[in-house]
Structure 1
C-alpha cells in the first residue's frame, strides 16, 4: 500500500504542484529505494532538496492535510493557520491523493475554504465514482453508494466541517477487506515528524503524545537507548533516577548525575527523537513517513546511517535535507532525489539532458547546478 500521486493547489506558497511517485527510470542500482507492486515499481525512499524557503516543510504539511480532517490522530494546527495562498486567499484550496491499496487504485480529492471547512469531496475506486459533492458547483452525487455496499447507510448528512468519507467510514459496518477501511487505516497511520531547536514535533500515527523519557523508561529501553547513542558516537552512560518532585527521568550517569533533557546537545536530542520513533514503529507501524530536515543536527556519517535505516523500512519514507553527502549512487538514485524549486517538485533525472549512469558523481552534478539549469 502506498501513495502513487499527490496534487495540491492554492495551499500556502503553492499555486499548483504535482508529485508522481510512479515515475521510475530503468537504473539497475540502489534498487532498495524502490518498491514493487502489481502496477510496477514505485519510489519508496525519497530525498527532497531545495533552497531555504523553497517550501520543503510546507510540502509536508500539504501531504498531511488529509490527516487533519479524516482521522483522530495527533494534529499540528499551528502549521495550518495561514492556509490558502496569500495572493488568492478567497479561492478554494484543493488536494488530490492517488493511493494504491493492494489491488485497488483509490483517488480521494477534496477542496477547502479553510483548514477545517470542506467545500467538496470526491472518491473514486478503480476509476468508478463512489460519491462526489461540491457546494460551489451544486453537485451532490451519492447515488452510487449502494453499488459499493452502502445500502443501509443511515444517511443524515451535511456538515461541511465533517468529511463525508469519514462519515461513511464511521457509520457503516466495513469488512476487513473493505477498500475504504484500508484507506482510513493508511491515513490514520501516516507519520510526520522533525526535531527543531524549539522542541520535538510530530503529527499522525498516534492518538496521544508521550514524553520521550517516560516512553523509554516504561518500555525498559534504557540500556538499548544507551547502546543506540554509543553506536552513533555519543559515548555516555545512562541511568534512571528520581527528580526532587519524585518523577522518574533519564540522567547521564556521572559522579554528579545530570538530567538528560536539560543538558543533552541538539544532536543528541535529535537522536533521541529518532530512537523514540524507531521503537514506536515496532508497536504502531506507520504506513507513510515524512521526516522534515531529518539530519539538521547530525554528523554526515550519522545521517547516512539514518538514511539507510529509512531505506530498510518496507514503507514509503520521504526525507527533506540539505546534506549533499548522501548523493552517491551507493545510497540513492537520480529518480528518487527531488528538487523543490519555483513551486514545482521534479526528480533530478528529469532536470538534466545528461544520461545518468552509475559512475556519475551525483553530488558533484548537484553542486555544479546541473539540475537547476
Structure 2
C-alpha cells in the first residue's frame, strides 16, 4: 500500500502534462549568482504558457504528478517575483483542478461513490478500485486552491480587476471573486471529507487515517502525506487571516498544522545524528514509529513540505532546524559526482524509491540555501548556464527561489 500514495513522483511525473505544439519552451539559467533575471522569469512563464492541465487525477496528476508540481512551481515563482502572468497561468490550472473534483465533474471524471458511500468532494486517483480510496493526496488539490486564493488575497491591487484569462467555469469574473470561490471550495473539501471522514485527530490533533478508511485505516499518516495536508492547512490559514472571516476554522486548521510539525521535530518523528563529516544530520522514517531510513523519493517530498512551512513562518521552524536536512543531503546522501544515496541514512542497496540516483530530486534543491558551500554543485547537477535548458518546472522554480534568497542575503 505504500506505493499508492508514495509513488506520485515516478508514475505520474512523466505523463501528467499535455503539451501544445511539438515542443514546449525550455527554461534557461542565466547565471547561478546574482539576482534572478528577467530572462529566467520569462523563460519560466513562456514554458508554463505552453502547457495544458491534466484532465483528471488518474495516477495522481494533481498531486505529485506534472500538473500538481507545476501548480506549486507557479505559486512559488509568483510568491518570489509577483508577475501577474505567472499568477494568471496558476489560475488556469486551479480552474481545471476545481472543475475536475468528483462532486462537480460529470462522469466519467466525476460522480463516483467512494468508500464513504457518497459522492464526496475529492479527487480520486484510481476509480477502478472497489471501494474507491482516498488518502493524503487529497491535501494537494485543496492546497492548490488555497494557495492561489492566498496569493490573490495578498495582492489587493488585483481585487477588482477582471481575470485576464476569462471565467470559463463561472468561478468569479474578478480576481477577488475567484479567490473567494477557491477558498470556499477548498474549505468545503477540507471540512466535509478530510476532517469529517478521512482523518482521525483524536490523539492530540496528530494525523491518523480514520479506522474505517480502506487506505491505511487507523495508522499514522506518512510524513510525505502530512506535508500534502499541511500544504492545504497552511494556505487555508493564510487566506483566512487576510479575510479575518472565520477565526474558529482558522484556529482549527492552525492547531492541526502545528501538531504535525511538533510531532516530527519534538515528538519522536526524527532523530539527530552526527554525519560522517561531523555535522548534525537528520534521520527519519516513512511514518512513525519508524525513525530511520526514509527513501530518497519520499524524503524529497518531506523536505519540500517542511521548507514550505519554514518560509511561511507561522509554525516557527528556524533555519537552524532546517540545516540538519541540508547536512544530511550534502554529507550523507551525496556520494560523489552525480551519485546520490537511495535513503536519507546513505544506503545504496535499495530498490524502487530507495534506489540510488544520478540526479537530485527537486525537493532537495531548497536545502542549498542552508549549505552555500554546496549550492553550485547542487544546482549544476541538473541545470546549466545557457545551453538547451530544462523542462522541469518544479526544479527550475526551486532554483529560482534559492538564487533569490542568496541575492537578498547579500
- Where relative contact order (Cα < 8 A, 6+ residues apart) is larger, the structure is 1
What TM-score results when the alignment is normalised by the length of structure 1?
0.28
The structure carrying a bigger helix percent of its residues is 2
The structure carrying a bigger strand percent of its residues is 1
What TM-score results when the alignment is normalised by the length of structure 2?
0.26
Larger Rg: 1
